[in-house]
Amino acid sequence: MIQRLRRQFILIAAIAIIVILSSVIGVLNSVQYYQSQKQIDSILTILVENKGKFPSVSEAKDQFGETTNEDFLHQYRYFSLTLDENNEVQDSYLDQISAFTVSEIEDQVVDRVVSSGRKSGIFRNKQQAYAYRLADLEDDETLLVVLDVTTFYTSQTRMHRLSMVMFGSNFLIFILIVTVLSARVVEPFVANYERQKRFITNAGHELKTPLAIISANTELQEMLDGETEWSKSTKEQTERLTSLINQMVLLAKMEEMPDIELIDINFSKVVADVSQNFKSLTTKNQLDYHVSIQPDVIVQAEEKALFELVTILLDNACKYCDPGGQVIVSLSQSTRLRKKARLVISNTYVAGKDVDYSRFFDRFYRQDQSHSSDVKGFGIGLSMAERSVQLFKGRLDVSHKDELIHFTVTL
């Protein structure tokens, strides 16, 4: 249980750091992308406003800032074309780029841009990326400005890769730290939990002695004076307390078990044996008893604990079934690739429609005192059943449908 608590703590911490790192990295990459796009749009706007060329340095300072100089403007690779109404090149400016010739531009760029039907966009040529913008001029002419944006996208790619490296390294470091410190984090809980287990075990052993003496004295009194109403009641309550102590100690021991060795068990045989044991009880209580077991259902479990699990659930169904109702046992196995065994034990419980089933596995919980006041039990059985299913790495669910309460074990 302690190891499971540590794993849950580490999992929650891991999810939290994933959310935080993803948010930070996402914001950084988004900001860089936004700034790059804004800069590309600004450059294209300047080129369009100045007929396909950069303005003078003094004019460019109004757009790029006071630090703008000739070298700053010459770092950008671009070209511009003037197209007529038939999209034929009338004029060109290629001084700031060497990747294209006039014929390559006419054959590759113009047709691609015009056929896209958009005024602006991105296209790739070989391993380079280019942003373009079309602007209408006088006399039905069109200005096409193309900017080499490879460096912008290269920077974004590097930022993405660096972000992934930072994400992975920081995540691993954080998980390592949390794993090391998780033992100290859960230490107070572990200490309290260990004290509770010792208290239950020690109290159980201490109580068994006076109970044994009370039982022996009662039997001796009956031998001398015969059985009376009071001696009979004393024996019944002594047996009840002894049973409660044994169950509490057993549950405490089950909680101590980190994992048990699971082996292949014929679940069908276990369910059949337990179902046969309860046949006489259902007949005595005049309950309608139905058993449906698929043969040779194999599960990974521990045989004794599995037998106890089925016994607890079937005993619970018989105890709390409405008078004249029915008890149903069904075992089947899914036909999926990963086959799962499914045991459903149901009993009639008309008043269970609006019951809070989330509390059924709480220790000492008795949902309806009027429904269960004459039933022997302490509300520990379902807690023991749940713990057994957890040890088998399965699930135990409870639901209510068609006036029947269903306990479903999936292994």
pLDDT digits (tens, 9 = 90+) for 325-357: 999 999 998 877 567 899 999 999 888 777 766
The predicted pLDDT at position 151 comes to 87
Superfamily of domain 263-410: Histidine kinase-like ATPase, C-terminal domain (3.30.565.10)
The tokens for 144 are 């096409």
The rounded percent of the chain whose pLDDT value lies above 70 is: 80
pLDDT above 70 (res 40):
yes
What would you measure as the largest C-alpha separation in the chain, in angstroms? 129
Q: What is the CA radius of gyration of the chain?
A: 39
What is the CATH architecture assignment of 187-256? Orthogonal Bundle (1.10)
Nearest to 145 by CA among 75, 54, 69: 54
Backbone φ, ψ for residue 400 (5° rounding): -135, 130
The tokens for 83 are 């197209």
Nearest to 109 by CA among 130, 86, 85: 130
The rounded percent of the chain whose pLDDT value lies above 90 is: 18
The predicted pLDDT at position 221 comes to 78
The predicted pLDDT at position 358 comes to 66
pLDDT above 60 (res 363):
no
Nearest to 313 by CA among 340, 331, 299, 301: 331
Looking at the chain, the domain(s) classified CATH 1.10.287.130 span 187-256
Looking at the chain, the domain(s) classified CATH 3.30.450 span 2-155
Three-class DSSP category at 374: coil
In the block, residue with structure tokens 């009376």: 228
Q: What is the CATH number of domain 2-155?
A: 3.30.450
The predicted pLDDT at position 88 comes to 83
Q: Which helix (H) or strand (E) holds 407?
A: strand 404-410
Q: What is the DSSP string of 223-253?
A: HHH---HHHHHHHHHHHHHHHHHHHHHHHHH
The predicted pLDDT at position 294 comes to 93
User: What is the per-residue pLDDT across 283-334, written as a single tens digit (0 to 9) for each?
Assistant: 988 999 999 999 999 998 888 889 988 988 998 889 889 999 999 999 998 8
Highest mean pLDDT among 166-175, 348-357, 382-391: 166-175
Overall average pLDDT of the 50-62 stretch: 75
Looking at the chain, the domain(s) classified CATH 3.30.565.10 span 263-410
- Mean pLDDT over each residue of the chain, to the nearest integer: 81
User: What is the per-residue pLDDT across 12-31, written as a single tens digit (0 to 9) for each?
Assistant: 888 999 999 999 999 999 99
Which position has the higher pLDDT, 111 or 358? Answer: 111
* Residue ranges of E strands in 109-235: 120-125, 128-136, 142-148
